[in-house]
Amino acid sequence: MKQWRIIFTGASDAFFNMALDEAILQAHEDGDVIPSLRAYLWKPPGVSIGYFQATGNTVDLSKCKENNIDVVRRITGGRTVLHENEITYSVCASIREYPELGENVNETYQKISFALLESLKALKIFGEWVKPHKDRIKMDSTGSINLLQAGSLQLAGNSCLSKPCFISNSRYEITVAGKKLIGSAQRRFQNSFIQHGSIPLGKGKVSLPHLLTEEINKKKMKEKLERKSANLEEILKRKVESKEVLFALKKGFGKFFDAEMIESEPSKREIETAQVLREEKYSTEEWNFRRRTYQPKKVGS
């Protein structure tokens, strides 16, 4: 039986959360560790911006500051996500050492989706994954898939990309009773990949549409978001603790991948790398407010 690490790092700010994801990814890029499933929380709440989004044109920074919400750019593509009252998962693995996790973006999305569905079963939730239609798949230069109508993807000033992630279903993402529950984003590199995503525990205090800069009917977008998205508390009709989700992830991933899930902590090297990345990359305006070329082996790039 193969082994995986399962790591719960508790609550951190947006900058350290993204930095540690990348630090773990770097360890896999170097081929140093077994597949890693990390789960974590956000304190204070954060908004993560997709790699291709224009931060200042996507969220109202003054409103984020007013509500004590960090804003950070992800290394993965996709749309804006508000991380509040949720548990986030991330999976990193070596493509070279573990080809059974998927030989391309789509295969890996599918496999991780099945593992997430197994995890939900441990919570007595029975979901389904959304299979993307061939006509709706467009690959961006980061290796992320944007599931938009063919020909509709425009990287500059695209209103589609500035809408909240949980308004649309894509990429083998998980729905329950037709509502999106788990949204994910993935990026592949030379030797490894990272996929991370949000599992909402319940409603937050702030609605994402309230934080957007677009001249939109925010009341209608909020209503649409509530209509099209779900959270664990709503489904189970009770408060759900993060430790329950962590147990379910351990059980579901272990079962689907036939793996021994070893409870672990980030290595000393991963923590040190994350601390550098937090200070030199993820907390800087240079990274968060303009696109930069990503070099996975160069700390602080």
Active site amino acids:
165
Q: Which two tokens stand for residue 226?
A: 């509530």
What gap in Å lies between CA 282 and CA 279, rounded to an integer?
7
3-class state of residue 112 by DSSP: helix
Secondary structure (DSSP) of 188-216: E-SSEEEEEEEEE-S--SS-GGGGB-S-S
110, amino acid identity: Q
DSSP state of 88: E
End-to-end CA distance of the chain: 37
CB 44 within 8 A of CB 11: no
* Rg, C-alpha atoms of the chain: 18
Q: Which two tokens stand for residue 53?
A: 């989004």
What gap in Å lies between CA 208 and CA 59, rounded to an integer?
9
Q: How buried is residue 110: exposed, middle or buried, by Cβ count under 10 Å (0-12/13-18/19+)?
A: middle
What gap in Å lies between CA 282 and CA 134, rounded to an integer?
34
CB 22 within 8 A of CB 46: no
